[in-house]
A = this chain, B = another copy of it.
């Protein structure tokens, strides 16, 4: 069976490597050998072991009837969207690691796949090498899933782990992450939570079978987290993680991305470094967590190739993933209930924080001169924000999960 790889960057190169290195195992599972016939890239790769397969002619792939499966590992919306659409319209199955494209055009591309008796799969778009989309759709089928909470971005988790363990400051750890190649020169997509936002939008959409627009999800990154925040978190025996979550309460649906203080009892607490973890709560199974490498060349490629295998076993079969383009109306996050860690300027003995936040508990240590911190009781976010606004000397707050 002939396969094409679109985009010979990190993930595309990984896909070629995985197909080559594990060709025997993969052939056993598919029932025949998978052969990469084309690798699409506008660049040349002289001396590369797959040099002979590299082409810059997309139409050669599109019009080659032997090619039944293409994996799109270009990233971005253009030209990935047009290429994917054209391939699906020809009845060729496509799989991808491209979360931007899936979050922006998932339902449309799935509908085209269905119409043309082929598949559009995107296991690698969330959680890198971790099986999460197929388990969600094919395994937890006896469940009413009411919450999905995940550490969905490896770069920020690496940074937060380092800040927690070594007491580093944000700027230093970002610099190091950039030097190690974990963070981009422009780190916005990671540190401002945009990447995690797209991923939770995909998971939420698949869970609700309708579209959660990522633009509708309240998103807060980690760029304002300081080492003092970790010091305060430590006083509570907690650490800080960037979480993407979607939650259903009664008939209302919520989604958000934000840093949270996590308790050691939470399975996500122990998800460190570049690893990702996705915690799914169902009404029967309680908590299930999926853990592994959320990024990286080979882990991500492994997930893409597992989609190729699935597509190779489903030739001629229409996609059965249900993801309508009908929009999910997310409810106001102000209705969600949390406790909060609050930092405030002033003296703990004379400040009136307990009048503004009855039941608040101060943290018993001076981390920075001239300020102190306290933990609020659990309350709706709207109420919290109203009170926080009235707090004299208010510096910042972080939610507690």
Contacts and interface: CB of A to CB of B under 8 A. Distances in A.
Interface of A: 14, 18, 21-22, 25-26, 29, 123, 129-131, 134-135, 138-144, 267, 269-270, 275, 282-293, 296, 298-299, 301-306, 308-310
A295 to B, nearest CB: 11
Given A14-B284, A129-B288, A139-B306, 14 more contacts: A18-B284, A22-B283, A129-B285, A130-B288, A131-B139, A141-B306, A141-B309, A142-B306, A267-B291, A284-B302, A285-B303, A286-B292, A290-B290, A291-B291
A302 to B, nearest CB: 4
Contact of A309 (B22, B142, B299): B142
A18 B142 contact: yes
Contacts of A139: 123, 131, 134-135, 306
Contacts of A310: 138, 141
B143 A138 contact: no
Contacts of A22: 142-144, 283-284
The quantity of this chain's copies bound in the complex is: 2
- Among A18, A21, A284, A304, which residue has the most Cβ atoms of chain B within 10 A? A284
B26 A142 contact: yes
Contacts of A141: 26, 29, 305-306, 309-310
Contacts of A267: 270, 275, 291
A288 B18 CA distance: 17
Contacts of A290: 288-291
Contacts of A129: 284-286, 288
